[in-house]
Amino acid sequence: GIWRTVTGANRWEIIPTAITGAALYLTFSRSAYGLLAFALIAAVLVAWRRGLKPAWLSLLVLVVLTSVLITGTVALRPHLSHGAQVTASERFTEVAAGSSTSLSDRANYLKASYNIWENYALLGSGGGTFGSVHPAYQQQVVSAGASAHNSYAQTFAELGLVGGTALLVLAIALLVE
């Protein structure tokens, strides 16, 4: 959507793109923020490289429209919640109490991912196999999980050096394009 907005392929594409951008932002997810940043940076770099002057105005309109949607959604929320009580998530409660094991859990996932990659370095364990391979490599019983909670570590564990490198080359090619 960002690309079609920047190149002017479809002027009305800006509306669903702004809605998608606002929805991704409102997820409060680091992955979603990374995706948005990557897409915007790629669009800016391509527009700059190709000298697409109208692209700058389109990007500005897209960012402003997305910001308006975010602000409007946040402002409307109290009026749409019908008095429902909002409670903190379990993970937030753990962090606030100082008893969170999030960092050690993530370190255990990374260690397991590295160990999987070490045993299947070239071709990986296979796409989508982390959940079934991980139990043999997990550090603790509480470390059971179907994903590594780190896209890069899981990609290299599942796809190995060949697949991980191919993915990296694709990302670079998109940025250079």
- Written as one string, the DSSP assignment of 85-144 is PP---HHHHHHHHT---HHHHHHHHHHHHHHHHHHTTTT-S-TT-HHHHGGGT-SSGGG-
Does the pTM surpass 0.75? The reply is: no
Q: What parts of the chain have a pLDDT lower than 50?
A: none
pLDDT at 52: 66
pLDDT at 176: 76
DSSP 13: G
Residue 103 CA from chain centroid, whole number: 19
Check if the beta carbon of residue 157 is closer than 8 Å to that of residue 130. Answer: yes
pLDDT at 7: 72
Residue 53 CA from chain centroid, whole number: 29
Identify the sign of the CA torsion 132, 138, 141, 143: negative
pLDDT at 102: 65
For the chain, how are helix, strand and coil distributed in percent, rounded to 5?
A: 75, 0, 25
Check if the beta carbon of residue 47 is closer than 8 Å to that of residue 56. Answer: yes
Structure tokens at 143: 């470390």
- Which residue, 37, 50, 65, is CA-closest to 8? 50
Check if the beta carbon of residue 41 is closer than 8 Å to that of residue 6. Answer: no
pLDDT at 11: 72
